[in-house]
Amino acid sequence: MALDGRLWDGISRSMGRLAQGYAISVLIGVPLGILMGRVRTLRRALRPLVVGLQALPSICWLPLALLWFGLTETSIIFVVVMGSVLAIAIAVEDGVMNVDPLLLRVSSTYGIRGARFYGGVLLPAALPGIVTGLKLGWSFAWRALMAGELLYVSGGLGQLLTMGRELMEIPQVMAVMVCIILVGTLIDRVLFQSVETRVRRRWGLAAT
């Protein structure tokens, strides 16, 4: 597979879908989590729904995605988004809720409001929780992508895995599984864990 280019093409396609779906999840999940953390009425109204939908396995969204978008790339990206956006929103909400109340009272006393409050006080204070949410969302997005590609013929690592099963090619199945593990571990270790460690050290939450 590596010599004839199928493996690299599969990785490229999977990573392209993951990047699109994860970017959309971050753009929706982070603001949603901040709003849920700051607006009590919104939190009471949305949190049970978000937690309930989070319990639904991401692959369960695929039939609905196929009905809405047909056999297109959009269906896979939709499954990725639904697999990660809720986890990001919940983790970001927890991060915002765990901000030191004393810090919030001091900023209110000094009249810091609006964009200055969110950009200068709330988001920096909630950053460790936000980074944890982004890392959690990435792992959910990666799993959702693989599950979607296993059931939908569209190229990518998931399809290579399905083809190996149908052709009874155990070496291909094992090779793709190892590749999925390596790619997931590499991104988790190189990108998210290093960023999370730096943020936690910067905020005094981990040993230097």
Span 23-32, pLDDT tens digits = 999 999 999 9
Task: Specify the higher pLDDT residue, 205 or 39.
Answer: 39
pLDDT tens, residue by residue, 108-139:
888 888 888 888 888 888 888 888 889 888 88
Place of tokens 């997005």: 141
Average pLDDT over every residue of 14-35: 92
pLDDT in the model for residue 125: 87
Instruction: Answer yes or no: is pLDDT of 207 > 70.
Output: no
Tell me, rounded to whole angstroms, the distance of Cα 174 from its chain centroid.
26
* DSSP string computed for 138-188: HHHHHHHHHHHHHHS-SSSHHHHHHHHHHTT-HHHHHHHHHHHHHHHHHHI
Confidence of residue 208 (pLDDT cuts 50, 70, 90): low
Residues 90, 206: Cα–Cα separation, whole Å: 23
Nearest alpha-carbon partner for 164 in 155, 154, 152, 176? 176
Task: Tell me the whole-structure pTM to 2 decimals.
Answer: 0.84
Structural contact between residues 11 and 18, judged by C-beta atoms closer than 8 angstroms = no
What is the 8-class DSSP label of residue 191? I
Instruction: Answer yes or no: is pLDDT of 59 > 90.
Output: no
pLDDT tens, residue by residue, 157-206:
888 888 888 888 888 899 889 998 998 888 888 888 778 778 777 776 66
pLDDT tens, residue by residue, 72-103:
888 889 999 998 999 999 999 998 998 888 88
